[in-house]
Structure 1
Amino acid sequence: MPQPRILLVVTGDDFGYCPKRNQGIVDCFKAGGISSVSLLVNASAAKDAADLAKRHNIPIGLHANLSEGIPVCQSLRQDSTLVNERGFFHGKMGFRQALGRHQISMEQVELELRDQIRLFRELTGHLPHHMDGHQHVHILQEVREVFAQVLSDHKIPYTRVPVEPGLHSCQCLPAHLKRFYAQVEKDALDSIPVFRRCGLRWPDVYLGLTTVGQNMSVSNLQRTLSHALSISSCAASNPEERVVTAELMVHPGYPSHPQKGGCGEGPDDFSQSADRQHELSVLTDLSLLAMYRKERVQLCAFKDL
């Protein structure tokens, strides 16, 4: 077999969110569409997800969550800066706004992250193979320093740096998403020196912001992978062709039942959307899997990088 040009980790996020998401992710893994998962330990079906990962030997990491549902740490469920008056996290944008107003305690962020790692270990029997952030909270200002130190302390080697080649030239994103992703990119770039200082690693290329939901198609995945392939080609002047590492973030599954799932407040629109099954269908499309073989893209887990 020729050497692969790309080692690609395809990570199914939000594992544990609900039984239907869990089943869809497992089906996607068994069909060869994903090669890794990120577990939400405060989600309603987290234990079921951990058991499924063990049963099917699915490489699993931690999807650190500071924005949706209820804290894992009991002492932070009331009268903490991480929750609102109802005891829930502030939400994707609410957390960012509170952080911008300097209303989030980094000591409490650290407590919650360490408790999520503890619960992950209880559920799976081992430390995470990688750790990223639900809704990209791990790269936010101040949080990134705490996050990186916690990973370093636990010797968790891999994380996610969501800087996607071709993001700004993508025509399929609405204006509000482009603005949000531009901020995600800025936060990610600002996180790199912090992550490097703590000895963390991440793949050469990140993909997935421009291919979420209905924007995912075989042609769009080919387009995003072409950026990684171009890096591989540029490095091919060496006697031994360089192997580029990449991560593709995806959210496959079956749509959540309206009354079943979530992290304490029920499943959100994102999880109930038919987009989840659309992603599952695209990721297991035989033409996509054939393209991987043709372009020498080898799916793998973080531990294989």
Structure 2
Amino acid sequence: MIPSTLSSRISLYGLVGVVAAAVHALVLVALGLLMPLWLANPLAFLAASLAGYLGHARFTFRPETGGQSFARRWLVIQYVVNLTVSGVLPLALPKALGEPVRVAVLVFTPTALNALIWSRAARFSKHRRDVVVTPLRHADDLGLSPATNQAILELASQKRLDSCSLLVNGPVAADGFHAWRQLERKHPQLQICLHLCLTEGPACANPSVVPDLVDSHGHLKRSFGQWLLLSLLPRRHATRRRIEQQLGLELEAQIKRFRSFCGDAPIHLDGHQHIHLVPIVMKAVLARAGDNGITWVRRTEEPLPTGLPLRYWSEAIRQSGLLKWMVLQVLSRKARPAIRRCGLASNQSFAGVLFTGQMAGAPILAAWKELSSREPQAGSTPPLLLAHPGGPLDIDLVTAGFAVSQPFAASSWRQREWRALQDL
């Protein structure tokens, strides 16, 4: 049985390889009539790679893929690796090997690499089909506006949300929390987090003790980028030491206000605009975790989803989602060991940065599918899918000190994310 299966697999692999080679030759001949050979060959090789990508997924490794295509990343990996090897290997092989040996190495090295790449792609596909976990659905910004509260509370009452984050300095934080607490009595599995805010809204500490963090109206004024730049200052720099001291006061004030709502329950903490992941802020959070009952901190290590049409990727680039994703990937991975050293829990994976603010349609479905295929990790809470649902904005957030959130909250995407969570 096993030899028969293995022989069938090898036969299919060889057949697909022959077809790919034929595609390479035919495209090369056709393009060679229209353009120089040095340009025609990479394009012909791309056509051959595409033939192998489709053929191996549909036929050779069908038991692993179920007849579905590999994730597109494997086509990119195969093409780049083969082009690189084909270009570098002839230059790297010493002439002393002799021409027959050089030719054999040049022919069989790409073949072996392709077998390895497509086998890994098949295992990746099988893992995604076999592993199924249920991500947690999470909404940020409870307390920002009545429209935001309405969406979050309705979703939670319909069991379309598992948790939310409370913006304790938000204009309607108290209303949002008390309504959430009533829902918790009916749905005790619901969780609420402290949504640390340092970039907008009124300070929770007395403005006189945090003068470097607020404007003349007592509203928090430092952007994510400014906090990040502060993290780059030497630790003994006078400005950094002064702001760290004020940061600690504001953090403690927000914790105190959260405690006034939630009592002595353990605190789960994340950040408005993910500000908690900035190193100077994370350091302050972890330093106060033990004394303030902080037991969980959110990470944003987001796996790239598969199966999305290319237009969504171009949109992620245009909307700076990919740039945000890269920055937060680095900050999350930097924070991970420190969070563990402090004995705090965290989520094992996450989705909601790459298409931040536009988690509806294909992006939210692809993110859900990706998180559902994450293998459970000991010591970590389930994957977290983040959205920002809301109704049509019904207050002026600028006068409330939330000018940064005004256009975001006023966008029709808030309603689209609301509907997407209802349909998920």
TM-score by length of 1: 0.79
Contact 2:364 2:420 in 1 (8 A): no
Which residue, out of 356, 377, 397, partners 1:212? 356
Contact 1:43 1:264 in 2 (8 A): no
- Counterpart of 1:198 in structure 2: which amino acid? C
Partner of 2:369: 226
Distance 1:117 1:79, change over 3 A: closer
Which secondary structure does the structure 2 equivalent of 1:60 belong to?
strand
Deviation larger for 201-210 or 167-176: 167-176
| Structure 1 unaligned regions, length at least 5 | 236-242, 289-305
Contact 1:12 1:252 in 2 (8 A): yes
Deviation larger for 20-29 or 202-211: 202-211
Partner of 1:159: 297
Higher helix share: 2
Contact 1:50 1:123 in 2 (8 A): yes
Q: Within 1, Cα distance between the matches of 2:409 and 2:268?
A: 23
Q: Is 1:48 the equivalent of 2:175?
A: yes
Q: Within 2, Cα distance between the matches of 1:117 and 1:34?
A: 24
Distance 1:135 1:201, change over 3 A: same
Partner of 2:159: 32
| Structure 2 unaligned regions, length at least 5 | 1-130, 185-189
> How many equivalent pairs are there?
273
Distance 1:262 1:134, change over 3 A: farther
Partner of 1:293: none
Which secondary structure does the structure 2 equivalent of 1:202 belong to?
coil
Q: Is 1:88 the equivalent of 2:232?
A: no
Distance 1:167 1:47, change over 3 A: same
Which secondary structure does the structure 2 equivalent of 1:83 belong to?
coil
Q: Within 1, Cα distance between the matches of 2:399 and 2:345?
A: 30
Greater RCO structure (CA 8 Å; 6+ sep): 1
Which residue, out of 179, 192, 202, partners 2:346? 202
Partner of 2:325: 181
Sequence identity, in percent?
Answer: 26
Contact 2:138 2:387 in 1 (8 A): yes
Q: Within 2, Cα distance between the matches of 1:229 and 1:274?
A: 28
Which secondary structure does the structure 1 equivalent of 2:218 belong to?
coil
Distance 1:167 1:212, change over 3 A: same
TM-score by length of 2: 0.58
Q: Within 2, Cα distance between the matches of 1:265 and 1:205?
A: 29
CA RMSD across the alignment: 2.8
Report the Cα offset of residue 263 of structure 1.
Answer: 5.0
List structure 1 segments (4+ residues) > 6 angstroms apart after TM superposition: 167-170
Q: Within 1, Cα distance between the matches of 2:208 and 2:322?
A: 34
Distance 1:209 1:262, change over 3 A: farther
Contact 1:18 1:262 in 2 (8 A): no
Query: Of the two, which has the highest radius of gyration?
Result: 2
